[in-house]
Amino acid sequence: MRSAKDFFAPLAVGAPAPVREVPARPSRAIHFFDPSNPKMAAKVPAMVGTVDVLLGNLEDAVKADKKIEAREGLVRIGQEVDFGPTQLWTRINSLDSPWALDDLTTLVPAIGHKLDVVMVPKVQGAEDIHYVDRLLAQLEAKAGLERPILVHAILETARGVANVEEICGASPRMQGLSLGPADLAADRRMKTTRVGGGHPGYLVRQDPPKGEDGTAQIEAQRATYQQDLWHYTVARMVDACAAHGIYPYYGPFGDITDVVACEDQFRNAFLLGCVGTWSLHPKQIAIANRVFSPSVEDIRHARRVVAAMGDGTGAVMLDGKMEDDASLKQCLVMVDLAEQLAAIDPELKKQYDAIDAEPQGA
């Protein structure tokens, strides 16, 4: 195990110093595109500024005979496109695949100066992060990069979930985690064939009514309530990330046409503490941007609590509810996020600024 005092030393001579704090850059939607798909690739320049993160995907969903084309396509896009305020991420192939090594050794020298984050799939434990950490340091040193590329792990194996805390703490490069519900379901032998989202069979049922003789009428009509298959894993991921100062994300929602259930799944993740999600199709970007931005109502309330709490200590009544030091902190989470988002999203800024112009007591 590395000593704590060595943790922030570069892992290769000449590599940039590791970050001490992961930058809190808004990343409500991580939009996936396949760089080997000419139609998708052609849309990338126009998407800059409309989405927080553009991710050139090299792993699953890219056909095996297109892996090299995808990698080369991403190099071309990375070199030619000005990403402005939008982050550029990539998802490399899994570490046991024939492509992962060449993904990293090609991308870092060619577009490492533009790559913000490398997403690593199927991470099993800290050893996978240590491998990528050292390799990135060597490649960064060779390429003369001035800032380190961060690492994001997908939580999509049972072993990865069991090791989630050590994965989060494995390197100062760790930026965050995403849930990978498809691979995770397969690895755990869950019996769902859906990519994320709920399942009508995963439910609880209302108690049966009693007949006149007091016996349970189990055949009677009873309400059922669908449960969230992913609650446990997302909650573990959020705790592990918060404990290590890194960021949790929901992952893919595969039913592209069901924009309503997609929004619900994203909102559950937002409420539980996730900062963003994946977008697989252009229509999911607007959903993610909406859901992962605090609502005007929440910000109006949060600002009122901040104002009412004065120096931030004690307890006050606001609209019949108790507010105190702890609820103030909850409100500050919202207000801080709103400020970060307003700085990159002029439309949102307008909506939040309009709150200040409202008559007092509105």
| Residues lying near ligand O=CC(=O)O in the complex (CB under 6 A) | 60, 121, 154, 156, 180-183, 195, 251-252
Tokens for 137?
A: 């340091």
Residues 92, 118 contacting (CB under 8 angstroms): yes
Classify residue 174 by its DSSP letter. Answer: E
In angstroms, the CA 238 to CA 182 distance is: 19
Q: Does 78 bind ligand ACO (CB under 6 A)?
A: no
Q: How far is the CB of 265 from ligand ACO (least distance, A)?
A: 14
Selected from 281, 290, 300, 304, the binder of ligand ACO by CB under 6 A is 281
- DSSP-derived pairing of the beta strands 150-155 and 117-120: parallel
In angstroms, the CA 316 to CA 57 distance is: 50
Residues 164, 177 contacting (CB under 8 angstroms): yes
Amino acid identity, position 307: A
Specify the residue, 121 or 276, whose C-beta has the smaller distance to ligand O=CC(=O)O: 121
Burial 95-133 (b: 16+ CB within 10 A, else e): bebebbebbbebbbbbbbebbbbbbbbbbbbbebbeebb
134 interacts with, out of ligand ACO, Mg ion, ligand O=CC(=O)O, none, CB within 5 to 8 A per kind: none
Query: Segment near ligand ACO (CB under 6 A), from 206-214, 218-226, 277-285, 353-361?
Result: 277-285
Amino acid identity, position 181: P
Selected from 27, 32, 266, 301, the binder of ligand ACO by CB under 6 A is 32
Specify the residue, 172 or 248, whose C-beta has the smaller distance to ligand ACO: 248
Q: How far is the CB of 354 from ligand O=CC(=O)O (least distance, A)?
A: 38
| Closest to 254 measured CA to CA, from 44, 88, 32, 65 | 32
Q: Tell me if 134 is assigned to a ligand binding site.
A: no
Q: Does 93 bind Mg ion (CB under 5 A)?
A: no
Helices 38-47, 67-80: inter-axial angle, 10-degree rounding: 20
For 316, phi then psi, to 5°, come to -135, 160
Query: Segment near ligand ACO (CB under 6 A), from 13-21, 235-243, 274-282, 309-317?
Result: 274-282
Q: Does 252 bind Mg ion (CB under 5 A)?
A: no
Q: Does 148 bind ligand ACO (CB under 6 A)?
A: no
Residues near ligand ACO (CB under 6 A) are 32-34, 39-40, 43, 57, 60-61, 182, 195, 252, 256, 280-282
Residue ranges at the known binding site for substrate: 91, 156
